[in-house]
Amino acid sequence: MNSPPENRIVAIRPEPGLSATIAAGEAAGFKVGGWPLFEIRAADWAPPSPKEVDGLLLGSANAIRHAGAALAQFTELPIYAVGASTAQAARQAGFEIAATGEGGLQTLLEGMAGRRMTLLRLAGAENVPLDPPEGVRLVERIVYESSPLPVPDALACELRKGALVLLHSAAAARHLGTECDRLGIARGGIRLAALGPRIAAAAGEGWGDLRSAQKPNEAALLALLRDMCHSATDRK
């Protein structure tokens, strides 16, 4: 099923996730244009003693990619990963996977209720606040940050023509809105497909359409994309 020509589909997440989204879209029959509006950079961090933690909690594969040499101290500890792609990156780095989530880090943590453990959370500078169950303690370290980039002329042109933008983070949602306002691009001509309600809320108001995926994963986002493309076709 090919996406209709009137549906200019755009992904703006940083690499290497951008290429993964484009490939997943193509496999599902969509042509997705890619413009990374963020650059991921490593952050300096001071690791705790591996003896003080029982495992690592990861909300993104970027934590593995950018934690640097200090990560090698923790390879004997199990990984609790937010999803399959993060688990795969950890496995390739030599870690054992204790659990892989499907509905976000909070849901993953809630599945640990009744246990007593300390987890080292390796996160980005912008991250989701977590409420661990009783008995589970989090030690957090910021190991990477996302630096926003300006909208290039080619993407601005696509947005002005009307586009359906895939949003993978709250930071991306806010940055897109700021850039559209700065460049005088009307929000009403742009539709947004967000990975979750928190991301959709960060986008603000005034968009032509704004919907959230039923689950925070790429498959659910592509299912939402399909629905939104069909909706646009039905209105023609």
Say whether pLDDT at 157 is over 90.
Answer: yes
Q: Assess whether 33 and 115 both reside in one domain.
A: no
pLDDT on residue 236: 52
- pLDDT tens digit string along 31-51? 999 999 999 999 999 999 999
Which one of 117, 147, 177 terminates a domain?
147
Q: Assess whether 106 and 136 both reside in one domain.
A: yes
**Residue 222 and residue 30 in contact, taking contact as beta carbons nearer than 8 Å:** yes
CATH number of residue 124's parent domain: 3.40.50.10090
Asked if residue 1 belongs to a domain, the reply is no
Q: Assess whether 115 and 169 both reside in one domain.
A: no
The radius of gyration of the chain's CA atoms, rounded to the nearest angstrom, is 19
pLDDT on residue 5: 41
Asked if residue 4 belongs to a domain, the reply is no
| pLDDT bracket for residue 232 (50, 70, 90) | low
Say whether pLDDT at 158 is over 70.
Answer: yes
Q: Assess whether 22 and 71 both reside in one domain.
A: no
pTM score, whole prediction: 0.84
Q: Assess whether 123 and 210 both reside in one domain.
A: no
Q: CA 145 from chain center: how many Å?
A: 13
Q: Assess whether 182 and 95 both reside in one domain.
A: no
Asked if residue 104 belongs to a domain, the reply is yes
Question: 218-235 and 17-27 are packed helices; what angle lies between their axes, rounded to 10 degrees?
Answer: 60
Mean pLDDT of the region 201-223: 95
**Residue 185 and residue 158 in contact, taking contact as beta carbons nearer than 8 Å:** no
- Strand order across the beta sheet in which 38-42 lies: 38-42, 136-148, 117-124, 55-58, 79-81, 97-100
Q: Assess whether 31 and 89 both reside in one domain.
A: no
Q: Assess whether 17 and 52 both reside in one domain.
A: no
pLDDT on residue 7: 64
Of the candidates 98, 83, 112, which has an alpha carbon nearest to the alpha carbon of residue 195?
83
Asked if residue 203 belongs to a domain, the reply is yes
Mean pLDDT of the region 6-15: 88
Which one of 113, 147, 181 terminates a domain?
147
pLDDT on residue 4: 39
What is the extent of the structural domain holding 202? 9-37+149-235
Asked if residue 3 belongs to a domain, the reply is no
Mean pLDDT of the region 142-169: 96
DSSP class per residue in 92-119: HTTPPEEEE-SS-HHHHHHTTTT--EEE
Q: Assess whether 133 and 92 both reside in one domain.
A: yes
Q: Assess whether 160 and 107 both reside in one domain.
A: no
β-strand pairing of 163-167 with 190-194:
parallel
